[in-house]
Amino acid sequence: MPSSSSSSSVAAPLAASFSTLTSLIAHCRASLLAPTTSTPPPSSSSCIPEASAADALEHLHAAATLAKAQITRLSVALKPPATADAAEKFVREFSATIVPSLAAAAAAVDAAAHGKALAKEVRRAVDALLASIAEYVAAAAATGGADRLAATGVVWCAADAVLRLRDLGLCGVVDAALRECGEMVEDARAELKAWVDGEGAGAGDAEDGDEWDFPAAGRKGALDAAVKCSAEHAVRKMKLVTILFGAARKRRLLGDARLSRDPQRVDGIADVSKEISALVDDLGTAFYEDEAVEVDQAREKLVTKAVALAELCVLGNTGEKDAYSGWFENCKSALQKSS
């Protein structure tokens, strides 16, 4: 009896191993992406031994290294003429050890011990790696490995993203997020400053006709003196916030003074920074739409959140004041002045 087109591409035992691996990956991905509590209750803390939690990133790194090497071996085995027995062995090893190890290591990186931001990024990266392996398997089952080189490259890239997390750690992950937030704040500040100065979007931008730009021509004459003063004050506050972002990254997320012992505070820095990046947009929009009440509310919220960010950065890694604490306290005072 003729076989189906997919099953004829590979031997039956290999096809069965592919199917088993695909089902396992689907199960592991569902488990990884299932909602979890950010902070487990005390009674559940024993579920993850302290040593296991401390070594979770090392275990994750080792599992991703194995996955990258194993997909290479599988690709070699599938090179025409395929070595079906060797390929089946490599696929079974994926199911028996590598995929379960990836899922277990990712689950061991929990929010309480490693920080919410890192735990989320680990799960995202491992899910992407598992998805790339599943796509490789699907293509190999359908074509017998004809497209294995391109698919192998995709798995390698996904594995490399997981491998980087060991060295990045929580502070590295949050630093990347803070850099993006800081760029958003600086863009909003520059846009508002251009609006105040009457620079507009420039002749080239005007030709594009983007209704969401805020060119000077959109204003009806010169700015009211009070509005201009208020906007200039907001621009100065935004500038101070961008400086604060840079200091938070340099003094609390990078270098010897990074907050490696306080994942909850690092998560707090990440959360507040995201709120700040949204608030600067709200503040700019309030000015552009000439909503005085909204301007005052947005500026007050921005200052409150920026002060909260500075407060999170006051104490050093040991929970005590250090050489940088005074700067963050002075920044708090400057933010609160005439706010």
The CATH number linked to 226 is 1.20.1410.10
Domain assignment present for residue 142? The answer is yes
Domain assignment present for residue 154? The answer is no
CB count in 10 Å sphere of residue 209 = 7
Q: Are residues 176 and 29 in the same domain?
A: no
Which pair of tokens denotes residue 211? 């209704």
Q: Are residues 14 and 110 in the same domain?
A: yes
As beta bridge partners, residue 321 has 315
Question: CB within 8 A of 126, min separation 6: which ones?
Answer: 32, 60, 102, 103, 105, 106, 162
Looking at residue 220, what is its pLDDT? 54
Would you tell me the crossing angle of helices 116-143 and 263-288 to the nearest 10 degrees? 90
Looking at residue 199, what is its pLDDT? 65
Q: Are residues 15 and 125 in the same domain?
A: yes
Looking at residue 146, what is its pLDDT? 81
Q: Are residues 187 and 330 in the same domain?
A: yes
Looking at residue 34, what is its pLDDT? 81
Looking at residue 339, what is its pLDDT? 52
In this structure, what are the phi and psi dihedrals at residue 321, rounded to the nearest 5 degrees?
-70, 145
Looking at residue 3, what is its pLDDT? 40
Q: Are residues 39 and 102 in the same domain?
A: yes
What global pTM score does this model have? 0.83
Domain assignment present for residue 53? The answer is yes
Q: Are residues 220 and 302 in the same domain?
A: yes
Looking at residue 309, what is its pLDDT? 98
As beta bridge partners, residue 315 has 321
Looking at residue 186, what is its pLDDT? 97
In contact, 87 and 74? CB cutoff 8 Å: yes
Q: Are residues 328 and 203 in the same domain?
A: yes
| Domains contained in the chain, number | 2
Q: Are residues 205 and 309 in the same domain?
A: yes
In order, the DSSP letters of 189-242 are HHHHHHHHHT-TTHHHHHHHT-TTS--GGGSSSSPPHHHHHHHHHHHHHHHHHH
In whole angstroms, what is the distance from residue 163 CA to residue 66 CA?
11
Q: Are residues 317 and 237 in the same domain?
A: yes
Q: Are residues 140 and 253 in the same domain?
A: no
Q: H helices of the chain, where?
A: 12-32, 50-54, 56-78, 84-93, 99-108, 111-114, 116-143, 148-197, 202-208, 225-248, 263-288, 292-312, 325-336
Domain assignment present for residue 121? The answer is yes
10-residue averages of pLDDT along the chain (339 residues) = 47 92 97 66 32 73 98 95 94 97 94 94 98 96 85 97 96 97 96 86 42 42 85 96 97 93 96 97 94 93 98 95 96 87
Domain assignment present for residue 272? The answer is yes
Looking at residue 32, what is its pLDDT? 92
In contact, 140 and 18? CB cutoff 8 Å: yes
Looking at residue 9, what is its pLDDT? 67
Which pair of tokens denotes residue 332? 């708090």
List the one residue out of 100, 92, 117 whose CA is nearest residue 27: 100
Question: Domain limits at 134?
Answer: 8-146
Domain assignment present for residue 152? The answer is no
Domain assignment present for residue 60? The answer is yes
Q: Are residues 132 and 239 in the same domain?
A: no
What Cα–Cα distance (Å) separates residue 101 from each residue in 32, 59, 95, 106?
Answer: 13, 8, 10, 8
In whole angstroms, what is the distance from residue 28 CA to residue 134 CA?
11
Looking at residue 80, what is its pLDDT? 87
Q: Are residues 238 and 311 in the same domain?
A: yes
In whole angstroms, what is the distance from residue 251 CA to residue 274 CA?
19
Question: CB within 8 A of 237, min separation 6: which ones?
Answer: 299, 302, 303, 306, 335, 339
Domain assignment present for residue 323? The answer is yes
